Amino acid sequence: MVSILEVKKGDRVRLANGWYATMLNNDMRGHTRLALVEGFCTEAGSVYTTDIKLVMREDGSLYPVTHTPGQVKAAAKRKVFGF
């Protein structure tokens, strides 16, 4: 498992919806990160850190991501509101 605090700029990640993204910033303590998301089209935008489920390392392997307690708490609050 990899801590979300170790996911840095340039890392490839897999999101909860199955899309891949490349991290564009190093703001590791926030609840959102800037990423280049490859979905229906490729675009840069904010993603919730709790939507980052896997991170790809140099060997091409995907590792699960653990989140901070604050991020998990914020995700639970968003879920109540339907997000």
pLDDT digits (tens, 9 = 90+) for 34-64: 999 999 999 999 999 999 999 999 999 999 9
Residue with tokens 């307690």: 69
State the pTM of this model.
Answer: 0.92
The whole-number average pLDDT for the span 4-22 is 97
Query: What is the C-alpha separation between 23 and 44, in angstroms, rounded?
Result: 9
Range of the domain at 53: 2-80
Taking 90 as the threshold, does the pLDDT of residue 83 lie above it?
no
Give the integer Cα–Cα distance in Å for 39 and 2: 24
Joined together, the tokens standing for residue 42 give 């490729």
Give the pLDDT confidence score for residue 2 in this predicted structure: 96
Domain count, the chain: 1
